[in-house]
Structure 1
């Protein structure tokens, strides 16, 4: 057997297939993501204010639920819609609470939080790429890659909360106007990706960050009193409404394409 044949045989032998543990980026992905961040905003407000638990107690309780959800997610060997999106809903709540604690309990400014979380997110991406040589979300098939993925998501929620509140306070926009403004920016990012062929990874994470304040704006629009510019549904009804929407779309995902996202692992995996 020639040296070339031996190398080819070794390459074929090293090739295998695994399941991507996170979903592909589709229309239903963005729909559930937006619903999830809206629930993250209203659920955090409900637990903190309506139930009177306070920020500290709410943070401890929701962090415990998040840890349990992530342990369940990491135990999977493929993408399971209900498990994945349960973790996303909980991490959206915890990401919101982290920023709220830093601002309300520890006295940090929104500017400082925005800068700090931007640095933390950039550092996460730098270490992720330095170790894995890719930031692709289409090949999350190891625990280490998934760890970087979820850490980045946590920072995007915390950053989205800080930057969104900073922008809302700075511009003084109403809930609807703020939500539509974020929609316009996300639309511009989509145009940049599809028309001008901007970097897909950069566009994805920018849109991921911006859906957090956009969802919060629409969540406040539904939950806040009419006198304050909202529709007056309250945090309970709003949370249940959007949770029902998440459940409906996730059930659709589970039966339509749950767990079928294989990736091929080779010596040159992206």
Structure 2
């Protein structure tokens, strides 16, 4: 479950759209090391607490905050798409913002439109499945080792967005509707991610399938941790959304800088055929 930024010219692959063949593009996402997964969980935590913070302090309401954060996300994604290779600051800024937007999409459906969490969870799961199906039909792979064309990058970020939205809705369903509480929800999500890792490394579960299952599960894990730390209910320390968001942002910045400087988030190029779904 690793991927990297290739220093060489992109090689046309099976399923690659004609317009993207032979383009000088590098892989646009980092290697899925332990640093990647830690930063991903922290970004989901910030996505949860920052969405709550903006909703409480900005006075714009869920709809206004959604519009503002979507506009910021659009700007960062433009920079991301215009980059020719993986840029840690840009990439992780996009992940953090898309975490907030994914959370707000789910919150809008629940709070403003009255859509039950059971329904929104099913909707997001269906939309994500459609994104994966179209992505695979067009590119013949869901591999995250070769996000090296505009088409593949578009599908990648769509999948990330709806993975966050699905994780938000499913996480809220488990922690609030089923009333397991934030701490127990976090423990269950962590156990599920550990089970996926064991299935991959010990039972040869497909690397692409393992990656995306774990990616979806990190969303409710991070959200449960954020809610547990920030909310005064549920036995948590009640740090508040401001302190929790600031604390996790500082840690994220440090973890993004360290592997970038040491090149721990880069690996040797791999052939796409070895990672096709």
Q: TM-score, normalised by structure 1?
A: 0.89
Q: Is the CA contact (8 Å cut-off) linking 2:33 and 2:265 kept in structure 1?
A: no
For residues 219-258 of structure 1, what are the structure 2 equivalents within 5 Å?
219-225=226-232, 227-257=233-263
Question: For 2:137, which of 99, 105, 130 is the aligned residue?
Answer: 130
* Distance in structure 1 (CA, Å) of the matches to 2:202 and 2:257: 33
* Distance in structure 1 (CA, Å) of the matches to 2:228 and 2:241: 10
Question: For 1:100, which of 77, 86, 107 is the aligned residue?
Answer: 107
* Distance in structure 2 (CA, Å) of the matches to 1:58 and 1:39: 15
* Distance in structure 2 (CA, Å) of the matches to 1:57 and 1:117: 22
Q: How many aligned residue pairs are there?
A: 257
Distance 1:269 1:41, change over 3 A: closer
Q: Which sits farther off after the overlay, 248-257 or 139-148?
A: 248-257
Q: Is the CA contact (8 Å cut-off) linking 1:35 and 1:246 kept in structure 2?
A: yes
Distance 1:269 1:183, change over 3 A: closer
What are structure 1's unaligned runs of at least 5 residues? 1-10
* Distance in structure 1 (CA, Å) of the matches to 2:144 and 2:59: 38
Deviations 1:72-130 (A, max 9, x none): 10011111111100000000000000000011111111111111111100100111011
CA RMSD of aligned residues (A): 2.3
1:139 aligned partner: 146
| CA positional deviation for 1:259 | 8.1
| CA positional deviation for 1:50 | 2.9
| CA positional deviation for 1:53 | 2.1
Check if 1:201 corresponds to 2:225: no
1:155 aligned partner: 162
2:180 aligned partner: 173
Deviations 1:194-241 (A, max 9, x none): 10111111111111111111101110111111x442211100000000
Higher relative contact order (CA 8 A, sep 6+): 1
* Distance in structure 1 (CA, Å) of the matches to 2:175 and 2:274: 45
For residues 1-20 of structure 1, what are the structure 2 equivalents within 5 Å?
18-20=25-27
Distance 1:262 1:131, change over 3 A: farther
Equivalent residue of 1:195, what SS? helix
Q: Which sits farther off after the overlay, 108-117 or 31-40?
A: 108-117
Q: Is the CA contact (8 Å cut-off) linking 1:22 and 1:137 kept in structure 2?
A: yes
Which aligned runs of 4 or more in structure 1 are off by greater than 6 angstroms? 14-17, 264-269
Q: Is the CA contact (8 Å cut-off) linking 1:20 and 1:262 kept in structure 2?
A: no
2:126 aligned partner: 119
The structure carrying a bigger helix percent of its residues is 1
* Distance in structure 2 (CA, Å) of the matches to 1:239 and 1:161: 17
Q: Is the CA contact (8 Å cut-off) linking 2:182 and 2:234 kept in structure 1?
A: no
